[in-house]
Amino acid sequence: MSLAVPVICVDGPGGAGKGTLSQRLAQSLQWHLLDSGALYRILGFACRQLAISLSDEGRVVAVARELDVRFVTNEAGVSVFLGDKDVSLSIRTEEGGRDASQVAVLPAVREALLCRQQELAVFPGLVADGRDMGTVVFPSAPLKIFLTASAEVRAQRRFHQLQGQGQGGSLPRLLADIEERDKRDESRSVSPLVPAEDAAVIDSSELSPDAVLDAALKLAVDRGLMSETSG
């Protein structure tokens, strides 16, 4: 009998702090990291570059199947490459998020990206960041975290992040975007954004990133995924 690779799923809406938590968890455990949102963002980006309509399921799927994407870990974190082009910054825009959300509603697209994500579960373990990690991609994962926060708090965080990057942004616009994206992610017919039945829900609205990490590490210890001293 082969031993299952341990996976920690971190699902939840955009801006709840999943990326930060997942990176810090992967670092603490020395596990691999899957940023599944980046896959959908790259796909949206690739389709734009090829002037393919984001609602043309057949053509978007064809691009998804051929997507030449690589995640490269370096001192700055993880860089994302499309072919030999570093697209890490280009995909992190508001427009990139909207495009990703649009291609993510297409059932055949999700199917095409499923195996790619599952193949990344290799020893010593994987922290998987997304929307459907616990419900669809890794349903038997020993720890599923659903990280959420109010839409207002998420819009504020994004606003400060954009300001920190020297980019402008309107808070009401960001809030409207977040609410629209949540609605699309929660109501799509395939893999909607919902907590897995066995997920531990953490609301980060009032928590610091350190407090969120502590709560997640405690869950990992409780599930026998790490000892108290290895964090």
User: Which residue ranges make up the site for ligand DC (CB under 6 A)?
Assistant: 14, 36-37, 40-41, 97, 100-101, 104, 130-132, 181, 185
Helix 36-49 to helix 94-103 angle (10° resolution) is: 90
State which residue, 3 or 76, has the beta carbon closest to ligand DC.
76
Residue 156 CA, distance from chain mean position: 19
State which residue, 69 or 221, has the beta carbon closest to ligand DC.
69
Q: Which residue is nearest to ligand DC (CB)?
A: 37
State which residue, 158 or 217, has the beta carbon closest to ligand DC.
158
Q: Which residues of 70-103 are buried (b: 16+ CB within 10 A; e: fewer)?
A: ebeeeeeebebebeeeebbebbbebebbbbbbbb
Q: Are strands 7-11 and 126-130 parallel, antiparallel or unpaired?
A: parallel
* List of E strands, the chain: 7-11, 32-35, 69-74, 77-82, 85-86, 126-130, 143-148, 200-203
Query: How many residues are there in the chain?
Result: 231
State which residue, 121 or 226, has the beta carbon closest to ligand DC.
121
State which residue, 189 or 227, has the beta carbon closest to ligand DC.
189
Query: What is the closest distance, in whole angstroms, from the C-beta atom of residue 50 to ligand DC in the complex?
Result: 19
Dist CA 28 CA 61 (whole Å): 36
Query: What is the closest distance, in whole angstroms, from the C-beta atom of residue 38 to ligand DC in the complex?
Result: 6
Edge-to-edge strands of the sheet including 7-11?
32-35, 126-130, 7-11, 143-148, 200-203
Query: What is the closest distance, in whole angstroms, from the C-beta atom of residue 66 to ligand DC in the complex?
Result: 19
State which residue, 97 or 226, has the beta carbon closest to ligand DC.
97
Query: What is the closest distance, in whole angstroms, from the C-beta atom of residue 207 to ligand DC in the complex?
Result: 19
State which residue, 113 or 226, has the beta carbon closest to ligand DC.
113
Residue 17 dihedral angles phi and psi, to the nearest 5°? 105, 15
Query: What is the closest distance, in whole angstroms, from the C-beta atom of residue 130 to ligand DC in the complex?
Result: 3
